[in-house]
């Protein structure tokens, strides 16, 4: 991973995460998140409580990827199959498997929906649109429904520290605003596809409310 964020690289990692059979490679999925964490870190320390949480979730998944059962953690599909068949998931309340791959990835999956909604707002925004409003609208429509009051308040404070739209476009490192908008138009269907494939898998296995 390079030091500077680039939207292009995020796009490439999410593109690499889809197999020909439309399975999702966990390795690239978390690489995409690592890029996003680097971006968030560049925005300042107000966001560190958010990036710490993402980093710890990436770490849990990386441990599975390099652990003795790694052959079962190649795709999200194989992970779900393996963990369910072997009773490795706490399904209704937290118990002996508080950090299963399935529940950990679910948290990132919900956040991916936030990302999709936010980037779509950014793509279609006008010059006077506020990033804080776009971010919090996207948040209220997605992740906020899964967060307790205290976290929602802390997130609200962090949103106020977001840089403006122009800076946002700059740090994406993908050329001028027209080019960024074009790249967003290219990235969003990919992110949406990865999201939808995961969502369908979780619905089919009744995993959307894992504690």
Kindly give, in sequence order, each residue whose CB lies less than 8 Å from that of residue 62, ignoring residues fewer than 6 positions away.
Answer: 30
Residue 135 and residue 118 in contact, taking contact as beta carbons nearer than 8 Å: yes
| Shortest Å distance, C-beta 111 to ligand 1PX | 4
Q: Which of 23, 91, 101, 95 is nearest to 60 (CA)?
A: 101
User: Are the CB atoms for 106 and 202 separated by under 8 Å?
Assistant: yes
Q: How many whole angstroms separate alpha carbon 66 and alpha carbon 68?
A: 7
Residue 135 interacting with ligand 1PX (CB under 6 A): yes
Q: Which is nearer to ligand 1PX, 32 or 73 (CB)?
A: 32
Interface residue with ligand 1PX among 18, 24, 36, 79 (CB under 6 A) is 36
Task: Of 79, 88, 131, give the one whose Cα is nearest residue 108.
Answer: 79
Q: Which stretch binds ligand 1PX (CB under 6 A): 18-26, 80-88, 106-114, 189-197?
A: 106-114
Judged by CB under 6 A, the chain residues 153 through 172 that form the site for ligand 1PX are 155, 162, 172
Q: Which stretch binds ligand 1PX (CB under 6 A): 24-32, 61-69, 107-115, 197-205?
A: 107-115
Question: Considering beta carbons, is residue 40 or 65 the nearer one to ligand 1PX?
Answer: 40
CB atoms under 10 Å from CB of 37, counted, come to: 21
Which residue blocks in 7-148 are alpha helix, DSSP H? 7-16, 26-41, 48-66, 76-85, 101-123, 131-141
Least distance (Å) between residue 50 CB and ligand 1PX? 5
Binding ligand 1PX (rule: CB under 6 A), the pick from 18, 30, 50, 89 is 50
Contact between 39 and ligand 1PX (CB under 6 A)? Answer: yes
Q: Note the residues at the interface with ligand 1PX (CB under 6 A).
A: 7, 36, 39-40, 43, 47, 49-50, 53-54, 107, 110-111, 114, 135, 139, 143, 151, 155, 162, 172
């Amino acid at each position: 991973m390079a030091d500077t964020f680039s939207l292009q690289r995020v796009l490439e990692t999410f593109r690499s995460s889809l197999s020909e059979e439309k399975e999702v490679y966990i390795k690239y999925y978390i690489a995409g998140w690592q890029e996003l964490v680097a971006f968030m870190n560049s925005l300042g320390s107000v966001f560190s409580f958010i990036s710490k949480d993402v980093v710890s979730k990436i770490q849990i998944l990386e441990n599975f990827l390099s652990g003795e059962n790694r052959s079962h953690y190649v795709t999200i599909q194989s992970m779900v199959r393996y963990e369910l068949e072997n009773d490795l998931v706490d399904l209704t309340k937290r118990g002996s498997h508080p950090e299963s791959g399935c529940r950990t990835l679910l948290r990132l999956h919900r956040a991916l929906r936030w990302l999709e909604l936010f980037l779509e707002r950014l793509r279609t925004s006008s010059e006077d649109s506020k990033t804080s409003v776009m971010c919090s609208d996207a948040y209220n429509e997605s992740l906020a429904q899964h967060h307790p009051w205290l976290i929602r308040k802390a997130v609200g404070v962090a949103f106020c520290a977001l840089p403006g739209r122009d800076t946002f476009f700059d740090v994406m490192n993908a050329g001028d605003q027209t080019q960024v908008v074009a790249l967003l138009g290219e990235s969003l269907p990919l992110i949406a596809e990865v999201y939808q494939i995961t969502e369908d898998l979780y619905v089919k296995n009744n995993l959307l409310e894992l504690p």
